[in-house]
Amino acid sequence: MWDGLFLKRLRKEMPHWRERGWIEADGSEAILAELAARGGLSRFTPIVFAVLGVLLVGAGVILFFAANWQEMAKITKIAVLVGALIATHVAAGLSLARPGRASGAVAHALLLLGIILFGANIILIAQIYHIDRHYPDAILVWSLGALLVACLVPSEIALVAGLLLGLLWSGFETLDFGRHIHWPFLVLWLATVPLIWRNRWVWGARATMITLILWSILTFYWGFEWRDRSLERVFLAQVVLFGFLTLFWLLHVAVRRDAVSRVADAARLPALVGALLAFLALTGRYHYGLRSGSWLEGDSPPIASAAAGWVVASLVAMASSFAAAAWARRRAGARANGPSAVIGFVLLGLICLASLSNLARGLEMVPVLGIYIAFNVLFCGGLVWLIHQGYRQGDTAIVNTAFVFFAVLVLQLYFDTFWSLADRAYFFIGGGVVLFAGGYLLERQRRRLLSRGSMTRDTEDGA
């Protein structure tokens, strides 16, 4: 669909470009012919239709069983369930063996149907035999079944299904069985990474980052008892922050390697979002024992020493993020040696210091209010730095992401710190001034970039 829109837009623009002499008439016709030959439909269209078809068939199969359950003998039920599973896999295999884009889409849709039927088999066989043990195990087995398909066939859609089922498994373990931090999910998650890398799966790369973010959110909010307002939640957020930063920098380096460029690029933005979400979590008032309306005095914070495990994990995560950032800077060469890179490293160092202060809260030597303010100032500074970097590199996704987080931070600060009408009035006036000033600076930056671009073109033309 997008290809069609693009072609339409291109047809409209071409005469104007020809008039200006940017392209030759022959060139424009060749471009249009090439795009038209690719077909009006997006490469995702057959996949979308096939997947929707599979979901409908899957729902129909389940309803068929439900409608005819009583009439079937136990052996018939099992034969139908297992038979459907075998038939679907065989049909998927036959489709895979046939060349062509359409048969490929059908094959992967059938593999997805096979995965759905494997889950239906587990659930319905458990019902037939009244097996009602630790039910998250069933979801884990389902997930492993999907990942096996992803690995052996290989199939990207099976990988995404396996990851989502893995997340569901972790969710049940955390929410229904009180798993403190469900680490086994990370083992499953890590097992998918080489698979994605080897097969260059762009959607798989996005899915793997998104499931890691969702797992982090799940653990952060539900992996701890609310009543102890545990410092462990803060330590976890810190490890997640530095972990995602490490991934972001590693992917930043990988983007420059042709072989894995697209995969790394697809995962880079979600990795940044993961880091920013963890950072945002660390700016919340409630982690510092500060109550609404009395934050200047401070509530007695939940003092506890960081367990040795958290200290080690935090230090390793910090060191990794520093090493990855330094590596990314080295690989970028002269372009990354300006003052902006130095500021980036200083910011990273300060974030590490603030995090170490959190780890040392048990010593009662570090003012909690100071850490809270430091995290908020550093988050703000980090976002400004990101916006600047995004503009420099012409990366609108990074700029937009940073702006969204900036808006969320402002909202959070508003609810966290301003309680009277006068406070709120000052807040809005101050916010307005900051926005005006920011807009002016960004516009100046944009014009400077534009003029630099036109100067470069003139120089090239002159040469």
Collect all residues with Cβ–Cβ distance below 8 Å to 389 and sequence separation of at least 6.
340, 344, 395, 398
Q: Which of 19, 20, 70, 461 binds other proteins (CB under 8 A)?
A: 70
H helix intervals, 223-307: 231-254, 261-282
Among candidates 378, 432, 427, 441, which has minimal Cα distance to 405? 378
- Taking the C-alpha atoms of residue 21 and residue 14, their distance in angstroms, rounded to an integer, is 11
Residue closer to other proteins by CB (options 152, 421) is 152
Let me know: does 192 contact 210? Beta carbons within 8 Å: no
Q: Which of 36-44, 130-138, 329-337, 356-364 is the region at the interface with other proteins (rule: CB under 8 A)?
A: 130-138
Please tell me whether residue 24 adopts helix, strand or coil conformation. Answer: coil
Min dist CB 134 to other proteins, Å, is 7
What's CA 131's distance to the chain center, in Å?
36
Among candidates 215, 200, 216, which has minimal Cα distance to 159? 200
Q: Which of 38-46, 69-77, 256-264, 336-344 is the region at the interface with other proteins (rule: CB under 8 A)?
A: 69-77
Sign of CA dihedral 404, 405, 407, 411: positive
226 binding other proteins? (CB under 8 A)? no
- Taking the C-alpha atoms of residue 351 and residue 381, their distance in angstroms, rounded to an integer, is 10
Min dist CB 169 to other proteins, Å, is 15
- What is the token pair recorded at 130? 């009244």
Which 109-128 residues touch other proteins, going by CB under 8 A? 114, 118, 121-128
Residue closer to other proteins by CB (options 95, 246) is 95
Q: Which of 6, 129, 345, 415 binds other proteins (CB under 8 A)?
A: 129
Q: Which of 17, 22, 64, 69 binds other proteins (CB under 8 A)?
A: 69
Among candidates 401, 255, 239, which has minimal Cα distance to 328? 255
Let me know: does 88 contact 110? Beta carbons within 8 Å: yes
93 binding other proteins? (CB under 8 A)? yes
Min dist CB 81 to other proteins, Å, is 8
55 binding other proteins? (CB under 8 A)? no
Q: Which of 10, 36, 80, 148 binds other proteins (CB under 8 A)?
A: 148
Cα–Cα distances in angstroms (integers) from residue 110 to residues 103, 199, 396, 405, in the given order? 10, 20, 38, 40
Q: Which of 33, 37, 66, 187 binds other proteins (CB under 8 A)?
A: 66
Residue closer to other proteins by CB (options 10, 78) is 78
Q: Which of 64-72, 297-305, 396-404, 422-430 is the region at the interface with other proteins (rule: CB under 8 A)?
A: 64-72
Collect all residues with Cβ–Cβ distance below 8 Å to 64 and sequence separation of at least 6.
none
Which 150-209 residues touch other proteins, going by CB under 8 A? 152-153, 177-178
Residues constituting the chain: 463
Cα–Cα distances in angstroms (integers) from residue 81 to residues 77, 131, 330, in the given order? 6, 17, 57
Residue closer to other proteins by CB (options 33, 67) is 67
Cα–Cα distances in angstroms (integers) from residue 460 to residues 450, 453, 455, 456, 457, in the given order? 15, 11, 9, 6, 5
Q: Which of 91-99, 303-311, 337-345, 365-373 is the region at the interface with other proteins (rule: CB under 8 A)?
A: 91-99
Q: Which of 101, 134, 256, 424 binds other proteins (CB under 8 A)?
A: 134
With CB under 8 A as the rule, give the number of residues binding other proteins. 41
* String of contacts with other proteins for each residue 415-444, x by CB under 8 A: ------------------------------
Residues that bind other proteins (CB under 8 A): 62, 66, 69-70, 73-75, 78, 82, 85-86, 89-90, 92-93, 96-97, 114, 118, 121-134, 141, 145, 148-149, 152-153, 177-178
